[in-house]
Amino acid sequence: MAMPNTNTQTKKELSPHTAWIIGVTFTFVIALLGYLLAMVPGFSHVGQLACAIIIAVFYRQIIGFPTAIQSGIAFSSKRLLRVAIILYGLKLNIATVLSEGLGLLLRDVGVIIFAIFTTIWLAKLLKADKTISLLLGVGTGVCGAAAIAAIAPIIKSKDEDTAISVGVIALMGTFFAIGYTILRPFLPLDVISYGIWSGTSLHEVAHVALAAAPAGEDSLAIALLAKLGRVFLLIPLCFIFIYIMKRKNKGEEHNTMIEYPWFLAGFIILSILGSYVFNHSIPVPDKIMEGVFSLTTWLLTAAMVGLGLNVRLKDLRAKAMRPLIAMTITSVVLSVLVYFIV
């Protein structure tokens, strides 16, 4: 599938509307390539999102940034990202978390606090990039790419920093999930304990499913319940960061207004609808919900492509290595601590 050569100035300027359409389409084309690459043996564990980011990053390095269609790419990386986060709320069943997972929820609070503060502390010791380290800490503690995408606009993260963080969390989370499946037969844990360990310590929902599924349905169910608690805590965490950023800006001479992340309100509304309305008062067919979840994945992937196109490998080498070390150490320690707690 040929990529559009839109980096150099064309003889005839594209109209703003045409540039926007081509730009958005372009992000979905790379998202499709990421989907196809994820079907290749060896890349299947990495996932569609990470594969698409890798393709986008290499496109930028080899061909360059397609400036002629920048408006469409920016729309995908910002607007579509917010739509994806809103739709992601349907995956959170608040009723299940509150009725069956209160004990796990308290444990999840500790995991999030530990992951964020430990990563930040290690980042200071290593003199690592603060923004990327913070995003990686949030991604490690909460729910990977979705948490990073939700927090990034609140802390005014640059697109390239957000893309780097998402790529790192997706790849490292995959390595950890595979490591869990390899270790499982040798660990003295029953299927329930193994599921709790996976759901409480792994990075993304997909990673939890990858690690827990081989242990059986019971293990997978409890693992996803533990993970849902961490997704649920993304809501108060966002409000905490909004409060911190407002306090921080008050102390500066040039006060910068913090734009309220209205997509978070949409996330909460759909979480409530999915938990108390669609599952009870208005039953929604499974096929429709599966379609919405699939759309969410595609929108999030296209958004990540837009972010990935802003990444330069020179910056990746310079900015990502030390935050990666901090996040890896945090993840290893977190896995060990949770293992002894369950």
Q: Is residue 8 part of a domain?
A: no
pLDDT, the chain, mean: 84
Q: Is residue 21 part of a domain?
A: yes
**What is the tens place of the pLDDT at every residue in 142-193?**
988 888 988 998 998 988 899 889 888 877 887 898 889 889 889 999 998 9
Q: Is residue 4 part of a domain?
A: no
Distances (CA, A) of 65 to 22, 69, 159: 14, 9, 13
Q: Band of the pLDDT at 133, cuts 50, 70, 90?
A: very high
Q: Is residue 245 part of a domain?
A: yes
Domain count, the chain: 1
Q: How far apart are CA 169 and CA 304, in angstroms?
A: 13
Instruction: Pick the more confident residue, 13 or 168.
Output: 168
For 69-106, what is the HEC assignment? HHHHHHHHHHHHHHHHHHHHHHHCCHHHHHHHCHHHHH
Task: State the residue range of the domain holding 130.
Answer: 16-341
3-state helix, strand, coil in the chain (%, to 5): 80, 0, 20
Q: Is residue 88 part of a domain?
A: yes
Task: Say which residue the tokens 């960061």 belong to.
Answer: 241
Q: Is residue 5 part of a domain?
A: no
Q: Is residue 11 part of a domain?
A: no
- pLDDT for 173: 84
Q: Band of the pLDDT at 330, cuts 50, 70, 90?
A: very high
CB of 88 closer than 8 Å to CB of 282: no
